[in-house]
Structure 1
Amino acid sequence: MSDVRECDVVVIGAGPGGYPAAIRAAQLGLKTVIVERDAPGGICLNWGCIPTKSLLHTAELIRGGMQSAPHGVRYGEPEVSIADVVAHSRAVSAQLASGVTGLLAGHGAELVNGVARVVDKGEVEVETSPGRTMRLLADHIIVATGAKPRQLDGIDMGDSRVWTYREALIPDRIPDSLVVVGSGAIGSEFASIYQALGSRVTLLEAASAVLPAEEAAVSEVVDAALSSRGIVTAADATIVGVDQSDSESIMVEWETSAGDRQRSGCDAMLLAVGVQANTSGLGLERFDILRGDGSIITDDAGKTGVWGLYAVGDVAGGPCLAHKATAEAIRCVDALAGVRRVPEPGDWKEWIPRCTYTDPEVASIGISAAEARRRGYDVATGKVSMADNGRCLGAGETTGFAEVTIDRDSGRFVGANLVGAGVTELIGMISVAHTAQMTAAEFARSIIPHPTRSEVVHEAVLKALGRPVNSL
Structure 2
Amino acid sequence: MADNSYDVVVLGSGPGGYVAAIRCAQLGLKTAIVERENLGGICLNWGCIPTKALLRSAEILHYAQHAKDYGLKIAGEIEADLEAVVKRSRGVAKQLSSGIAHLMKKNKITVHMGEGTLTGATSLTVKGDKGEEKLTAKHVIVATGARARDLPFAPADGKKVWTYRTAMTPPEMPKKLLVIGSGAIGIEFASFYNDMGADVTVVEMLDRIVPVEDHEVSAFLNKSLTKQGMTIMTGAGVEDLKVTGKGVTAKIKDKDGKVHTGEYTHCITAIGIQPNTENIGIDKLAEMDRGFIQIDPYGRTKSKGLWAIGDCTPGPWLAHKASHEGVTTAEAIAQELGNKDVHPHPLNRSAIPGCTYCHPQIASVGMTEAKAKEAGHEVKVGVFPFIGNGKAIALGEAEGFTKTVFDAKTGELLGAHMVGAEVTEMIQGYTIGMTLETTEAELMNTVFPHPTISESMHEAVLGAYGRALHI
Smaller-chain TM-score range? over 0.9
Cα distance, 1:359–1:159 mapped onto 2, change above 3 Å: closer
Q: Any idea what SS the aligned residue of 1:210 has? A: coil
Q: What is the CA distance between 1:118 and its match in structure 2?
A: 0.5
1:84-233 residue pairs with structure 2 within 5 A? 84-129=84-129, 132-158=131-157, 160-233=159-232
Q: What is the CA distance between 1:447 and its match in structure 2?
A: 1.6
- In structure 2, the residue matched to 1:438 is 438
Q: What is the CA distance between 1:343 and its match in structure 2?
A: 5.7
- In structure 2, the residue matched to 1:274 is 272
Q: Are the aligned partners of 2:214 and 2:369 in contact in 1 as well (CA < 8 Å)? A: no
Q: What is the CA distance between 1:70 and its match in structure 2?
A: 2.4
1:234-273: per-residue Cα shift (whole Å, max 9, x none)?
A: 11111111121x2112111110232111122111111111
Q: What is the CA distance between 1:324 and its match in structure 2?
A: 0.4
Q: What is the CA distance between 1:369 and its match in structure 2?
A: 2.5
Q: What is the CA distance between 1:433 and its match in structure 2?
A: 0.9
Structure 1: which amino acid aligns with 2:226?
A: S
1:427 and 2:424 matched: no
Q: Which whole-Å CA distance do the structure 1 matches of 2:45 and 2:255 have between them?
A: 37
Q: What is the CA distance between 1:342 and its match in structure 2?
A: 5.6
Q: What is the CA distance between 1:129 and its match in structure 2?
A: 2.2
1:447-466 residue pairs with structure 2 within 5 A? 447-466=447-466
1:274-330: per-residue Cα shift (whole Å, max 9, x none)?
A: 111111121112224211x20100011000001100000000121110000001110
Structure 1: which amino acid aligns with 2:366?
A: G
Q: Are the aligned partners of 1:186 and 1:272 in contact in 2 as well (CA < 8 Å)? A: yes
Q: Are the aligned partners of 1:377 and 1:407 in contact in 2 as well (CA < 8 Å)? A: yes
- In structure 2, the residue matched to 1:406 is 406
Q: What is the CA distance between 1:3 and its match in structure 2?
A: 6.2
Q: Any idea what SS the aligned residue of 1:409 has? A: coil
Q: What is the CA distance between 1:172 and its match in structure 2?
A: 3.0
* Unpaired segments ≥5 residues, structure 1: none
Q: Which whole-Å CA distance do the structure 2 matches of 1:40 and 1:438 have between them?
A: 38
- In structure 1, the residue matched to 2:338 is none
1:25-64 residue pairs with structure 2 within 5 A? 25-64=24-63
Worse-matched range after superposition: 458-467 or 31-40: 458-467
Q: Any idea what SS the aligned residue of 1:134 has? A: strand
Q: What is the CA distance between 1:43 and its match in structure 2?
A: 0.5
- In structure 2, the residue matched to 1:19 is 18
- In structure 2, the residue matched to 1:306 is 303
1:232-251 residue pairs with structure 2 within 5 A? 232-244=231-243, 246-251=244-249
Q: Which whole-Å CA distance do the structure 2 matches of 1:20 and 1:282 have between them?
A: 21
Q: Which whole-Å CA distance do the structure 1 matches of 2:317 and 2:464 have between them?
A: 31
* Unpaired segments ≥5 residues, structure 2: 336-340
Cα distance, 1:364–1:159 mapped onto 2, change above 3 Å: closer
Q: What is the CA distance between 1:126 and its match in structure 2?
A: 0.7
Q: What is the CA distance between 1:364 and its match in structure 2?
A: 0.7
RMSD: 1.5
Structure 1: which amino acid aligns with 2:248?
A: I
Q: Are the aligned partners of 1:10 and 1:35 in contact in 2 as well (CA < 8 Å)? A: yes
1:390 and 2:387 matched: no
Q: Any idea what SS the aligned residue of 2:18 has? A: helix
Q: Any idea what SS the aligned residue of 1:287 has? A: coil
Q: What is the CA distance between 1:66 and its match in structure 2?
A: 2.1
- In structure 1, the residue matched to 2:282 is 284
Q: Which whole-Å CA distance do the structure 1 matches of 2:265 and 2:137 have between them?
A: 50
Q: Any idea what SS the aligned residue of 2:441 has? A: helix
Tell me the matched-pair count. Answer: 465
Q: TM-score, normalised by structure 1?
A: 0.95
Structure 2: which amino acid aligns with 1:270?
A: I
Q: Which whole-Å CA distance do the structure 2 matches of 1:81 and 1:457 have between them?
A: 37
Structure 1: which amino acid aligns with 2:323?
A: T
User: Which portions of structure 1, spanning 4 or more consecutive aligned residues, are displaced by more than 4 angstroms?
Assistant: 339-343
- In structure 2, the residue matched to 1:326 is 323
Q: Which whole-Å CA distance do the structure 2 matches of 1:159 and 1:87 have between them?
A: 18
Worse-matched range after superposition: 184-193 or 278-287: 278-287
Over the matched positions of the two proteins, sequence identity in percent amounts to 38
Q: What is the CA distance between 1:393 and its match in structure 2?
A: 0.7
Q: What is the CA distance between 1:431 and its match in structure 2?
A: 0.5
Q: What is the CA distance between 1:159 and its match in structure 2?
A: 5.6
Q: Any idea what SS the aligned residue of 1:285 has? A: coil
Worse-matched range after superposition: 409-418 or 48-57: 409-418
Cα distance, 1:13–1:159 mapped onto 2, change above 3 Å: closer
Q: What is the CA distance between 1:344 and its match in structure 2?
A: 3.4
Q: Which whole-Å CA distance do the structure 2 matches of 1:114 and 1:66 have between them?
A: 46
Q: Which whole-Å CA distance do the structure 1 matches of 2:117 and 2:247 have between them?
A: 41
Q: Any idea what SS the aligned residue of 1:220 has? A: helix
Worse-matched range after superposition: 293-302 or 333-342: 333-342
Q: Are the aligned partners of 2:125 and 2:132 in contact in 1 as well (CA < 8 Å)? A: yes
Q: Are the aligned partners of 2:159 and 2:171 in contact in 1 as well (CA < 8 Å)? A: no
Q: Are the aligned partners of 1:4 and 1:137 in contact in 2 as well (CA < 8 Å)? A: no
Q: Are the aligned partners of 2:354 and 2:364 in contact in 1 as well (CA < 8 Å)? A: yes
Q: Which whole-Å CA distance do the structure 2 matches of 1:358 and 1:156 have between them?
A: 25
Q: Are the aligned partners of 2:120 and 2:285 in contact in 1 as well (CA < 8 Å)? A: no
1:106-135: per-residue Cα shift (whole Å, max 9, x none)?
A: 1221122111010012111111227x1111
1:83-105: per-residue Cα shift (whole Å, max 9, x none)?
A: 11111000000000000111121
Q: Any idea what SS the aligned residue of 2:458 has? A: helix
- In structure 2, the residue matched to 1:265 is 263
Q: What is the CA distance between 1:186 and its match in structure 2?
A: 0.4
Q: Any idea what SS the aligned residue of 1:219 has? A: helix
Q: Are the aligned partners of 1:65 and 1:74 in contact in 2 as well (CA < 8 Å)? A: no
Worse-matched range after superposition: 433-442 or 303-312: 433-442
Q: Any idea what SS the aligned residue of 1:33 has? A: strand
Structure 2: which amino acid aligns with 1:320?
A: W
Q: Are the aligned partners of 1:277 and 1:317 in contact in 2 as well (CA < 8 Å)? A: no
Q: What is the CA distance between 1:374 and its match in structure 2?
A: 2.8
Cα distance, 1:369–1:156 mapped onto 2, change above 3 Å: closer
1:8 and 2:7 matched: yes
Structure 2: which amino acid aligns with 1:263?
A: T
Q: Any idea what SS the aligned residue of 2:293 has? A: coil
Q: What is the CA distance between 1:5 and its match in structure 2?
A: 1.7
Q: Which whole-Å CA distance do the structure 2 matches of 1:376 and 1:295 have between them?
A: 30
Structure 2: which amino acid aligns with 1:240?
A: E
Structure 2: which amino acid aligns with 1:60?
A: E
Q: What is the CA distance between 1:448 and its match in structure 2?
A: 1.3
